[in-house]
Structure 1
Amino acid sequence: MRKFGLLLGIMFLSACADRSYTPVMPEALNVGTPVTIFAGTTRAQNPDGSFGFDRSEKLRLLELTVSIPPSHQPGDLNYAYANPKPEMEFTLAGQVELANPAFQSRVRQEMAKKSGRETEVTVYIHGYNATQAETAFRAAQLANDVKLPGAQVIYSWPSKGKSLGYAYDFDSALFARDGLEELLFLLKATGVRRIILVAHSMGGLVMMETLRQIERSRPGWVGANIGGVVMISPDLDIELFRTQMKSLSHIPQPFVVFVSRQDSILNLSSRLRGRGEGQRLGNIENNDQIADLPVNVIDTTAFAKDAASTHFIVGSSPALIAMFGDVQALQDTFDLDPAAALGSLTAAHQTGNNLSTRQVLVLPTDSPR
């Protein structure tokens, strides 16, 4: 109970921080490394040109330029809000709104720069308590640190961007389904070979509900066009996840779920719902609950202490990122069986009595085998 109260106190204090405005600073490119991030958003635009938490039924398309500071180290995500320091912090260096044809043209051009993966895009869907600028920074950090394939796209749905905005964000996640569906159809029309989906936290709810919605209107589209799914710390009810998965005629492969039993946010999410810890998909304790589903569960609990965020271990643990980087395992995930790719590291396979779900326990390299 003491930990529960402490976490609520931290959430209350963080809710006081003003995260509503992040300036566009082109001069940041004088010191930083540029990363192009495309965005589809259902956030309403503010008078200052930024995109806030109000909802918009219109999908707006953007090209963002993020400057990665020269001091950046893998796993770090340092940024400010109103007064960024480009030498030390991720900075928004450009923002241009595009019409549909121009957006598609720019995505094609960006794909053409990616040797060997010219016809892929990775779509990152953020979770609860996220602003649009933070989402762009996270996508740029992941693209830089773990070499996500193809052109980088974010779906920026109208999160409140506040720790105490959980209920608002849950409603926004459901509101956001149509916008993500429109974005996926638009990206497919650019001629991409496959679309990779990466969803964090409550973004997993947005993604799974959208895939279920698409399957109902266009049976078979998901299996034919989604080339892989990665869920990071999904804040999603396990029974709901099972229903969503069973609605799909063909489940995209590979389908990877990163989990941790030390995820403080998901443990709180479970308790707020009157359930015990380990009852969200991202902190699942009993793999048998999804044993009949064709998914690969990767347990990153061993890296919780090393990570800057226990709710985003895969992207904030320098040790885990270094392991992936050694053999490009995260990229291999999109082409190979994830368990086989990680097997060359320190993975311990636990197949149990099923042939569908495979759990991979990722251990630090200095852990006893």
Structure 2
Amino acid sequence: MLRYLIIIASLCLLSACADRTITEITPEALKVGTPATVFAATTRAREGDGSYGSKRAEALRYLELTVSIPPTHTPGTLEFSYANPNPKKQFVLADVTEFSGRQDLKSRLHGVDDVVIFVHGYNATQTETAFRAAQLSHDIGIPGTILIYSWPSQARGIGYAYDLDSMLFARDGLEQTIRFLRSSGVKRVILIAHSMGGALSMEMMRQAELREPGWSNRNIEGVILISPDLDVDLFRSQMNSIKEPPDPFVVMVSKKDKILNVSARLRGTADSERLGNISSVDSLAKYPINVIDTTAFNSDAGSSHFVAATSPALLSILSSVRRVSSTFGPDRPGIDVLVPPSERSTDGATEIVLTETGQAQVSTP
């Protein structure tokens, strides 16, 4: 019992024990900061005060959010406040437009070829997700339009079980979002998912494949799972249902991910690894994926569970790689340039261990 009390206490500390339901909209922030547009598709229910919290909605809603990025922002940091934000130093929500339906969003996306969908993980609010997507896009220089898929996380340290159910609840909405984008004329959809969002993305692709074999490869240009909170055996089962996964298919891991260690304990599997902190790719050898080990950047990162977004050194490398591939077009996402297809395994998994100097050491099981 003591062990579980310690875990719950740790999760509470991770969520800062603050009132995260408060979101101030400050249009004046744009006089100071740099605007970033983040679209949203959400299965969160709309509350009476207009906010989107943890309750589950029966239908998708679509929004356009304008985020102000502070002039003092440095790569890898995400400073914000739930009340009285300072636009000179913090990310600020400057505007929110709620669309009456899909047609309004379709009109806003007219002429857009590339959309990057960011799927958040456990213990996240909608505004925090918009801030993180804007920060990641700004720091790496991700081209294309950014859209967050905001599923109904309880956004509480002790809400892990609720979030697990919400993640499964949200599978249909994510699939509907991708189908809508493709039917609206978007040519390329990139899926970037963090933590439990990786489990959501895999479950979504699996269910779509069972109905329409080959759906994922036809509709998703590339998949990047960052620190996926996902059982390895479950991932293998999901991949077995996806005969032709999107290419590239990238899994970013860190052996020092502390949050995934807590996740394993909560599930009673403390002796096993999660997909996001695997020490070996041997069990994944037959799948055509790239596993990128970012452990070397753990000490530089603000979060061991989100090294890709909080390590200034790694962000600098990813930004440089992105500039090599200037668009998310036919040349593939920039992150794929880390290891050109000619250096990857043609039969299965490729392991890429990134060093602090930015070198990529490539091996296959």
Task: Summarize the alignment of residues 251-330 of structure 1 with structure 2, pairs less than 5 Å apart.
Answer: 251-276=245-270, 279-328=273-322
Please give the per-residue CA displacement for 1:115-170, whole angstroms capped at 9, x wherever unaligned: xxxx1110000000000000000110111111223111000000000111100000
CA distance in structure 1 between the aligned counterparts of 2:6 and 2:356, rounded to whole angstroms: 29
Distance in 1 of aligned mates of 2:196 and 2:50: 26
The 1:211–1:305 alpha-carbon spacing in structure 2 relative to 1, beyond 3 Å, is: same
Q: Percent identity?
A: 51
Whole-Å separation in 1 of the counterparts to 2:35 and 2:29: 9
Distance 1:9 1:122, change over 3 A: same
Alignment RMSD (CA, Å): 2.6
Q: Which residue of 2 aligns with 1:9?
A: 9
- 1:358 paired residue among 350, 353, 358: 350
Q: Which residue of 2 aligns with 1:60?
A: 61
Structure 1's 9 and 328: CA in aligned 2 closer, same or farther, altered over 3 A?
same
Specify the code of the residue in structure 1 equivalent to 2:312. Answer: P
Contact 1:38 1:64 in 2 (8 A): yes
Alpha-carbon distance change, 182 to 337 in structure 1, aligned in 2, over 3 angstroms? closer
**Structure 1 residues without counterparts, runs of 5 or longer:** 112-118
Q: Secondary structure at the match of 1:21?
A: coil
Task: State the Cα deviation string for residues 282-329 of structure 1 (Å, max 9, x = none).
Answer: 001121111110110000001001001111001110000111223326
Map residues 193-232 of structure 1 onto 2, 5 A cutoff: 193-232=187-226
Q: CA deviation at 1:3?
A: 11
* Alpha-carbon distance between aligned partners in 1 of 2:287 and 2:77, rounded to the nearest angstrom: 34
Does 95-104 or 226-235 show the bigger shift?
Answer: 95-104
SS at match of 1:108: coil
1:242 matched to which residue of 2? 236
Whole-Å separation in 1 of the counterparts to 2:332 and 2:128: 31
CA distance in 1, matches of 2:321, 2:11: 37
After TM superposition, give the deviation of residue 341 of structure 1 in Å. Answer: 2.4
TM superposition score normalised by structure 1: 0.89
- 1:45 equivalent in alignment to 2:41: no
Report the TM-score, using the length of structure 2 for normalisation.
Answer: 0.90
Residue 341 of structure 1, aligned match among 328, 337, 343: 337
1:170 aligns with 2:172: no
Does residue 124 in structure 1 map to residue 118 in structure 2? Answer: yes
Gaps of 5+ in 2: none
Give the 5 Å matches for 1:144-159.
144-159=138-153
Contact kept, 8 Å, 1:146 with 1:324, in 2: the verdict is yes
Match of 1:105 in 2: 107
Distance 1:18 1:331 in 2: 41
Give CA deviations for 1:13-53 in whole Å, capped at 9, x if unaligned.
Answer: 44631101211111111101111111000101122211000
Letter in 1 for 2:40: A
* In structure 2, C-alpha distance between the alignment counterparts of 1:321 and 1:72, rounded to whole Å: 14
The aligned length equals 354
CA drift of 1:272 comes to 2.0
Letter in 2 for 1:105: S
Q: Structure 1 residue 340: deviation in Å?
A: 7.0
